[in-house]
Amino acid sequence: MTNTPPILREWHGLKPPEICTAKSLGRTIAPDHYSQVYWIAKIVDNVIVEWHPLTDWHFAADGKLFGSVDTGVWKLNVSIQVDEYVILSVV
């Protein structure tokens, strides 16, 4: 994992998202500030090329972020390590 946050290849929305590690969230995600949490599925040359919204997410005692991804084609339970990045959509 790099110390430099990855960047998004593209983004559609009024406000740019925040990209941060699960650890930097401190086991909380303010629902009044963020509208969606995204799991980063694929990074190429530090550019995020695939991401999916998390549903039913929660933090474990060790700081890992767990959630479900449902693309309509497949469903997956994901575990995001504390040093891995996530995308937060800003309200």
Q: Structure pTM?
A: 0.90
DSSP H or E stretch at residue 35: strand 34-44
Rounded (5°) CA angle 81-79-34: 80
DSSP 23: G
pLDDT one-digit tens code per residue, 34-44: 999 999 999 99
pLDDT one-digit tens code per residue, 51-70: 999 998 999 999 999 999 99
Asked if 24 and 89 touch (Cβ cutoff 8 Å), the reply is no
Model pLDDT, residue 2: 53
**Spatial distance between the Cα atoms of 25 and 14, rounded to a whole number of angstroms:** 23
Banded pLDDT at 91 (limits 50, 70, 90): confident
For 79, residues 6+ apart whose C-beta sits below 8 A from its C-beta are 64, 65, 66
